[in-house]
Amino acid sequence: MTFAKIAQKLSLWAGSPKTFLGAIVLLALWAASGPLFGFNDTWQLIINTSTTIITFLMVFLIQNTQNRDTDILHLKVDELLRASKDAQNAMLGLESLDLKQLEALRKQYQDMGKDEAKSLDGVEAKNKIDLNQC
């Protein structure tokens, strides 16, 4: 739980305009110091190593934030499905399906969308989807 809180705060900080501006300033200072160091290998190694380390750490930070956002989105959609009397509650368990079953279900929905008449009030489904067919 502590990592999630730290990751969220770091993510907000890393995505801020001030942080971006700070990175631009640091890059400008590094580039401006090139003539002072003769554009040598150590001068280049400083930026290469720094950006590699930051990128490596940011991958984990972004993945954590994305996982959290995805979980929240799933919970909200699950609640909407649960609360809607016309929704198929079987959709709440899609996480347990494998890729082949999900593709078959997606195809079934695409076919239904082609065959259904759409009105301004929404889409009325004539067919019920049977997850056991997938």
Confidence (pTM) = 0.60
CA–CA separation, 40 and 34 (whole Å): 8
Q: How do the pLDDT tens digits run along the chain, 134 residues long? A: 688 889 889 999 999 999 999 999 999 999 999 999 999 999 999 999 999 999 999 999 999 999 989 989 988 888 888 888 777 777 777 888 888 988 888 888 778 777 654 543 454 444 455 555 55
Q: Which amino acid is at 67?
A: N
Question: 129 and 90 in contact (C-beta within 8 Å)?
Answer: yes
The helix (H) or strand (E) run that includes residue 123 is strand 122-123
Contacts 24+ apart (CB under 8 A), 94-99: 97/131, 97/134
Radius of gyration, CA atoms only, the chain: 25
Beta bridge partners of 118: 123
Check residue 55 and give its pLDDT: 95
